[in-house]
Amino acid sequence: MYERFLRQITDFIFVETPLKPADVIFIPGNGYPQMAERAAGLWREGMAPYALPSGKFSILSDRFSGPLDKKERYGGDYDTEWAFLRDVLVKNGVDASRILKEDQATYTYENAIYSRKVTDEKGLKVRKAILCCKNYHARRCMLYYQLLFPRTKIYVAPSQADGINRDNWHRQERGIAAVLGEMERCGSQFHQIIKDLEG
């Protein structure tokens, strides 16, 4: 019974889907390079013509605190998450002219909201999109982007960035806090959204 319980949580949080060619690759703001590296690989494969990293810095901070991994390669002085993610994309072969800009978002829902503004202003019809996010952030990211792109088929391409994955999260205190914290946020952060949509 316990194994089934763990599997249900794992399957809910760690979303991953088969990928197909899309109109854009979304990268929600963060300080890890792995998600943008994955996006760059997909771009080089021709999976989408544009990449759209999003993010200013955390709402809990007054600046971008810098890369959280691979600092030896991505050691620049970045003002925003977007600037950092753009640099990761460029260093991994993405044409700078194909990187769209969103550098105002301070939390995940804003990543989706402001990314929608960018695609609308560009006149980009997003029928299909690939979402490159952290593995245990995948469900919440997907829900937010699906809310803002309701007519879009969203494919989820998660990356492991900090040692937590679907197989080991429940064996470490840090993983338990991260995954169950996502479960809590999937509930708490949608209270007002659902009320607004239903109202």
Structural domain includes residue 78 = yes
100: in domain: yes
With beta carbons less than 8 A apart as the criterion, state whether 48 and 25 touch: yes
Can you read off the two tokens belonging to residue 16?
A: 């991953």
Residue 6 in any domain: the answer is no
CA-CA-CA-CA dihedral for 30, 164, 181, 33, to nearest 10: 0
**129 within domain boundaries:** yes
On whether residue 180 sits in a domain, the answer given is: no
CATH of the domain at 68: 3.40.50.620
* Residue 110 placed within a domain: yes
Quick check: is 179 in a domain?
Answer: no
Structural domain range at position 148: 14-163
Please give the tally of structural domains in the chain.
Answer: 1
The answer to whether residue 176 is domain-embedded is no
| pLDDT per residue rounded down to tens, the chain (199 residues) | 889 999 999 999 999 999 999 999 999 999 999 999 999 999 999 999 999 999 999 888 888 999 999 999 998 889 999 999 999 999 999 999 999 999 999 999 999 999 999 999 999 999 999 999 999 999 999 999 999 999 999 999 999 999 999 999 999 999 999 999 999 998 888 888 888 888 7
Instruction: Write a three-state SS string for 33-79.
Output: CHHHHHHHHHHHCCCCCCEEEECCCCCCCCCCCCCCCCCCCCCCCCC
What pLDDT is recorded for position 37? 98
